[in-house]
Amino acid sequence: MGTSGTAASTLSLIGGTVGSGGAQGANAFPWNQYFVTSFDLAKVAALDATAAFIQQAISVTIDIAGKPTPVNVSPLTEAKLDYALSTGLTGKGQTVGMIDNAVNLGHEQFAGKTITTDGYATAGDPAPAGGDFHGTGVASIMVADGIVGASGQSTVGFAPGANLFAGYLDYNQPTNFGQLASYMNDAAHLKVVAMNNSWGLANDTVASGDLPSALNSGPGASYLSALRIYAQGGIVVFAAQNDYAATSISSLAGLPSFYPDLQPSWLAVINAIPTLDSGGNITSAQRVSTGCDEAATYCLAADGQMFVAGNTGSSSYDAGTGASFAAPQVTGALALLAEAFPSMTAQQLRDRLLATANDSFYTATGTVTFAPGITHGYNAEFGMGFLDLKAALLPIGTTSVPTAAGGQIAQGSAAIVSGFASGSAIAQALGKARIVALDQMGGNFTTPGNTIAGTAKAPDLSGLRLAYLGAALDPVRMQAFSAAVSTGNVMAIVDHPDAFTAPDAATLLGLGEERVYDRNGLKLTVLRENGGLAGASAERTFDLGDGTALKLGLASFAHAGSILGISVPGTGSALRSNTDAVTVGYATRVSRDVTLRASGEFGTATGNGAGMVASFSPVSYNSLGVSLDTANAVQSGDVFSLFARLPVAVTGGQANMTLPTAFAAGQTSFSTVGVGLRPTARQIDMGFEYDQPLTDHASMAYGAAYSVNAGNITGATSAAAMIGVRFVF
């Protein structure tokens, strides 16, 4: 790539003093200062174990408001870069750019990198073969690999996996706007996500300069045009000047003040040092450079006191301070965000950094609205606040999950809710799926599918047990049951209810029963829902002789709003199910005063889809139970029962859900995912019941039950106990 041959402007460029330990330059806009006194690695050794992070904890004396001031800084952890890199982000696949003096391309931190240079080694304007300190330092802040060299020293860039585009700028030559335009055009061609500019124009501020006169015609106009073209797909980052006393930001950092159309693609960066509490929160900050001033609504602060790659050898390092070294932190951060959110535009990434900047330490004088309900405060000194990569990578505002129908549900809201019969099966199955969630600023995230799975509260069986208990405590019935066990009247035993009877599927769904026929061992029951007809059941008991009875039943019913208690919130009664079941009861006399009871329900439910559930495959379920009853166990007429039961649980079937599984180019892709409904562990109830007659008109019952995998949820437990007395007058 070549440089433009257009004539140079009379405006002069300023860079920084090159080399370690040098005095601040006399220029009114010194872009860098070097007053390194010592390195204090111990202060951050506990924070990060890598050499690159440890060596960024430096003690440095810098000029603040004309006074040499010793400070201790750790810019990488202050910007939360450790959080970003810990996720695996490196800026891979992205290209960041810079216009600066020469980069030491032979430095170990750039080995193996794809670096495209522009304007290097051109006739009459050669770049130093070993690079310059300023350009090398800026490049390392953006893309240094973080390797530990032979000297044990290291530094890591904010986007260590990114490619680099470098346009050469000779600070000793007049401004060549045509050359700058060429660099910006090449950056647009290379799809550079962000272009760093750690330079400025001497004595030219928004308040006092005349930059627009240079940009409105000739080579300056070509530069402005190139900026506008690049800004369609990338972000321009400019460092503010290192003039603490200035009351207006440099004209280039604040260029949108003259050309507002550039603002959505523009960032100004100042140099400041935060004070952190023990939790890493910023409690105050010391500004080092000029303030954000006119650029406050598109300005960030970063700690520009950095340990960077040097230009005196392939493994040289040095320290510097200035807004020049704050700006490339923001430029590299944009590459990380571009990798993290590949479907977002560069302008959305820029807004993300602004909206999540740490503004907790200053009083805002105004706000910027980024999305409905998403506002951020700013002030003239610190702009939008400190760069915070941790916050930028997290969801902003509320997060929603898109639906195939074009709507969305709030993340954390349930798109499907498991019932008692399926326990935690849905949450466990969806936990293996990855779905797309979107925040309020266009950020897309991959999250476990179980964030949209709910588990219904386990049904309160106490009411049901009270109903059973009322029948169980009936003195007449209790005496009849005791007599039935003693005599082996299995026809009576097979129908006996007790206080811990497990409800069937229809009862769990809240269907009411209306017995319409009960004679000669045949029972016909109408099932109702909200007073309407829901279905019917029929039972017939058979005496098989030899003290054995068998009860067979059939049930068929419809239910609105769920399938075996599995529901889709927000869809009302759109989900309808039909259930068919077979029930079996069995009783046999084991010995005198001892009887064995067993019961079971086996059914299949079908249902249509609703919401994010496209359909259900047939869902099978069952329940099983066994009881051992002993009459006259302690006194005449009592019954002691031991029982073990498996309440209703799904045994097969799945919900076919249409889930957002990919996001690209602003569009969500959906896939059908089968979600198993069978719980991984079933509830097992174990317990006892003791029925004791007190008088001919009074009886008492005691009982206790213990549940393993309560609610069909692995590892959950519960216990219940009861005591009841009934008098009949």
Q: pLDDT for 132-159, tens place per residue?
A: 999 999 999 999 999 988 889 999 999 9
At 543 the pLDDT is: 92
Q: Which residue has the tokens 């109830």?
A: 685
Quote the CA–CA distance of 194 and 96 in Å, as a whole number. 5
- Asked if the model's pLDDT at residue 112 lies above 70, the reply is yes
pLDDT for 37: 28
Would you say the C-alpha torsion 319, 324, 330, 334 has a positive or negative sign? negative
Distance CA 43, CA 25 (A): 31
Residue 41 scores a pLDDT above 50: no
Q: What is the CA radius of gyration of the chain?
A: 38
User: Phi and psi (nearest 5°) for 261?
Assistant: -65, -20
Tell me, what's the pLDDT at 26?
30
* CB of 268 closer than 8 Å to CB of 248: no
3-state secondary structure 233-296: CCEEEEECCCCCCCCCCECCCCHHHCCHHHHHHEEEEEEEEEEECCCCCEEEEEECCCCCHHHH
Q: Report how far residue 618's alpha carbon sits from residue 443's, in angstroms, rounded to the nearest whole number.
A: 38
Q: Which residue has the higher pLDDT, 42 or 506?
A: 506
- Cα 270 from Cα 321, distance rounded (Å): 12
Does the pLDDT of residue 478 top 80, yes or no? Answer: no
How confident is the model over 164-204, as pLDDT tens digits?
Answer: 999 999 888 888 999 999 999 999 999 999 999 999 988 89
For the ranges 55-64, 296-305, 318-327, 421-430, the lowest mean pLDDT is seen at 55-64
Buried/exposed code over 328-337 (b: 16+ C-beta within 10 A; e: otherwise): bbbbbbbbbb
How do 594-610 and 619-631 pair as beta strands? antiparallel
pLDDT of amino acid 4:
31
d(CA 300, CA 249) in angstroms, rounded, equals 13
Q: Which residue has the higher pLDDT, 128 or 402?
A: 402
Q: How far apart are CA 623 and CA 647, in angstroms?
A: 5
Above 80 in pLDDT, residue 306?
A: yes
Count, residues in the chain: 729
What per-residue string of b and e applies to 464-502 under the rule 16 or more CB within 10 Å gives b?
bbeebbeebbebebbbebbebbbbbbbebbbbbebbbbb
Q: How confident is the model at residue 219 (pLDDT cuts 50, 70, 90)?
A: very high
| Span 530-540, pLDDT tens digits | 889 999 999 99
pLDDT above 50: residue 451: yes
Q: Identify whether the C-beta of residue 635 lies closer than 8 Å to the C-beta of residue 427.
A: no
The percent of residues above 70 in pLDDT, for the chain, comes to: 89
Long-range contacts of 519-522, Cβ-Cβ distance < 8 Å, separation of 24 or more: 521/491
Q: C-alpha 692: how far from its chain's center?
A: 58
Q: Picking from 8-17, 449-458, 503-512, which range would have the lowest pLDDT averaged per residue?
A: 8-17
